[in-house]
Structure 1
Amino acid sequence: MAGAALPTIREVARLAGVSVATVSKALNDSGKVSEALRERVEAAARTLGYAPHASARSLRSGATRILGLLVADITNPFFLKLVEHIEQLASAAGYSVILCNSGEAAEREERHLRMLLSQRVDGILLMPVRDRWRGRIAALARLPQPLVLVDRMLDGLEIDSVTIDNRMAGHLAGEHLVQLGHRRVAMVMGSPEHQIARHRLDGFREAFATGGIALDEQLIARNCFHEEAAYRAALTLLDRAEPPTAIFATNNHLTLGLLRAISDRALAVPEALSVVAVDDLPFSSIIRPSLTVVMQPSAAIAHAAVSGLLDRIGARAPADGMKAVVLEPHLAVRDSTAAPRRQPPKR
């Protein structure tokens, strides 16, 4: 059965006893209308269930009041927290958000970007995937809409961004373990070719160098891009004749793989092994032992990203020059780290 026809602006005008032009001015706040008349028009619109057509309104104003949000991987709990904060901030500013999950796939990111452009979004927040797609830097550089990179930078693209100090994140983890007395320490990380992983390794190494300790390169598991790879790498580290006394995992997915390996080897934390990770998992503070983590300020990241994008949309920021916001992480010390205990060598 066909649905009832949508009410028209002429029906609102008839019910309110005014002209179509007056209805348009009252509902779109585009002209001088008395408060009493505005209330009468709005009451008529509510009675009929009328709402101005968004597409037509955007054509007139040049704005859709919609932001695009491209997320590299929605399964990452850190990105989920950012999405929640961003949507709340955008909503409070009167914007809706189109959320796209790229799933760390370059072709999906490119396709989502084209879709957002076709929807005429007012601006885009991009948490970029690790892999490139052909022409990505050039395409992003010439976007007609304002763009802000979130969490990850892209080499060769001079554009507004909000990130954390990833060297500091690695340094905080390393410094904590050095102060506890750890000397044989492992690390589970992504590719050093990617800026975040490389900077966290640099900061971690610097903390040990400051303490006069050289990291054993054989204990650094590189190129772990997902939980399963981290799990296998952690098992290899734990099964060494001289296993590490502490392990640092550089993101949420890798932390999950590490914790699975520790569970499979029935190791006591922190008695047999100390664990430090970057960013909180949803259960980090309630598992036993609770997890020591380097915290990323997700609320502050979201606020800087949304406010920076809205400044660009509203032409409140200089037209030329990029604005790079770098926020500081902090260490949350919990129960998964302690001074190392001497372990008998494996036979």
Structure 2
Amino acid sequence: MNDVAAEAGVALKTVSRVVNHEPGVNTATAERVQAAIDRLGYRRNDGARTLRQGRTASIGLVIEDVADPFYSGLSRAVEDIALGHDYLVFTGSSGESPTRERDLVLAFCARRVDGLIIVPAGDDHEYLTPEVDAGIAAVFADRPPGTGPEADTVLCDNTGGSRAGVHHLIAHGHRRIAYVGDSPSIFTAAERLEGYRQALSAAGLPYDEGLVAMGPVDQGRVQADVERLLNSPDPPTALFTGNGRTTVASLRAFASFGPGGRRLGEPHGADVALVGFDDFELADLLKITVVAQDPVGLGRTAAELLFQRLSGDEDAPRRVELPTRLIDRGSGEVRPGA
């Protein structure tokens, strides 16, 4: 900045006013300063400026997997809100590892982020207590925190959404409905299983553990479970899948049955109905009925709560639950034996 002042023949304070868009500099002088800035290639040191203000103008975002379209939508929403506040976002994927979640959070804290948005991979967040006590704001998204500091939490209605999806299948005449979901240790998977059970109970249908298949979302596991369920002596007439990746893996499993095999979720000629939790790309073209979450709304709400905290909001921690909506496209409207 001293070099710019010397080049333009003005005081250092005048350069500071031009750089920070402050009033008090006449047009001709401002143009001379800007010309000197352009010639010298000067760039304002935002890091030093924000540090003088006692902040870094950055937040950390820890999600499960940046490659998952659900978390891509959430991340983009957080970025949009952050950019509106002139903040940068550092993002990392935990891969469902509590250890990696902890390491990422503490790495962000070591870089003095002003706040954190965390999709928890574990249920022990005591490690975060010293950081929150030191002034770092934290918000949990998609899943609630376990032990540790109280913080704002933004969830979707996992139980209610699952209940609505299974009820939709029951309303179309299905009585043997399988649930294929993620690992039961994951909060969202457990909540969706609970919604499945509630819908069966409300319809007077028994809960059959033989119709439930949960585990890691990889093609081999889902493929084996779908084949086992549909090749059983008394197979289900419908599937409810617990998230978008499980739905896609199930569709691939059905493709392996080949011509003349079991057909999934086709409006005409199908023999197995399907409703999936989570909308996903091409679901509309494939005519897949889904219970849609709002990942963008989830990220936006979490970011807005975080920036309220960064602005001095000291109200009691909030728990916000966003609604889901059922989108019927054909695969969930297939009746048994159609």
Is the CA contact 2:173–2:336 (under 8 Å) kept in the aligned structure 1? no
Q: Say which of 286, 293, 296 aligns to 1:296.
A: 293
Give the counterpart letter for 2:191 in structure 1: H
Where does residue 79 of structure 2 map in the other structure? 87
Deviations 1:225-253 (A, max 9, x none): 44432222222111111110001111122
Residue pairs, 1:329-344, within 5 angstroms:
329-342=324-337
Where does residue 55 of structure 2 map in the other structure? 63
Where does residue 156 of structure 1 map in the other structure? 147
Where does residue 302 of structure 2 map in the other structure? 305
Check if 1:183 corresponds to 2:175.
yes
Q: Which segment drifts farther, 321-330 or 132-141?
A: 132-141
Where does residue 263 of structure 2 map in the other structure? 268
Deviations 1:17-64 (A, max 9, x none): 2222332344246x7633635555344323422112233212211122
Is the CA contact 1:187–1:219 (under 8 Å) kept in the aligned structure 2? yes
Partner SS for 2:235: coil
Q: Which segment drifts farther, 82-91 or 223-232?
A: 223-232
Alignment CA distance shift 1:169-1:39 (3 Å)? farther
Alignment CA distance shift 1:227-1:126 (3 Å)? farther
CA distance in structure 1 between the aligned counterparts of 2:275 and 2:57, rounded to whole angstroms: 41
Is the CA contact 2:61–2:117 (under 8 Å) kept in the aligned structure 1? yes
Alignment CA distance shift 1:140-1:252 (3 Å)? farther
Residue pairs, 1:79-158, within 5 angstroms:
79-129=71-121, 131=122, 135-136=126-127, 138=129, 142=133, 144-157=135-148, 158=150
User: TM-score, structure 1 length as denominator?
Assistant: 0.86
CA distance in structure 2 between the aligned counterparts of 1:213 and 1:140, rounded to whole angstroms: 48
CA distance in structure 1 between the aligned counterparts of 2:220 and 2:138, rounded to whole angstroms: 33
Is the CA contact 1:127–1:151 (under 8 Å) kept in the aligned structure 2? yes
**RMSD value over aligned CA atoms?**
2.3
Structure 2 unaligned segments of length 5 or more: list them: none
How far residue 128 of structure 1 moved from its aligned partner, in angstroms, is 1.9
Check if 1:283 corresponds to 2:270.
no
Where does residue 33 of structure 1 map in the other structure? 24
Give the counterpart letter for 2:141 in structure 1: V
Structure 1 unaligned segments of length 5 or more: list them: 1-8
Give the counterpart letter for 1:93 in structure 2: H
How far residue 123 of structure 1 moved from its aligned partner, in angstroms, is 1.3
Percent identity reads 30
Give the counterpart letter for 1:154 in structure 2: P
Is the CA contact 1:26–1:38 (under 8 Å) kept in the aligned structure 2? yes
CA distance in structure 2 between the aligned counterparts of 1:65 and 1:117, rounded to whole angstroms: 13
Is the CA contact 2:125–2:147 (under 8 Å) kept in the aligned structure 1? no
Is the CA contact 2:251–2:264 (under 8 Å) kept in the aligned structure 1? no
Give the counterpart letter for 2:291 in structure 1: V
Alignment CA distance shift 1:253-1:142 (3 Å)? farther
Partner SS for 1:294: strand
CA distance in structure 2 between the aligned counterparts of 1:104 and 1:192, rounded to whole angstroms: 13
User: TM-score, structure 2 length as denominator?
Assistant: 0.89
CA distance in structure 1 between the aligned counterparts of 2:76 and 2:202, rounded to whole angstroms: 38
Alignment CA distance shift 1:300-1:337 (3 Å)? same
Partner SS for 2:279: coil
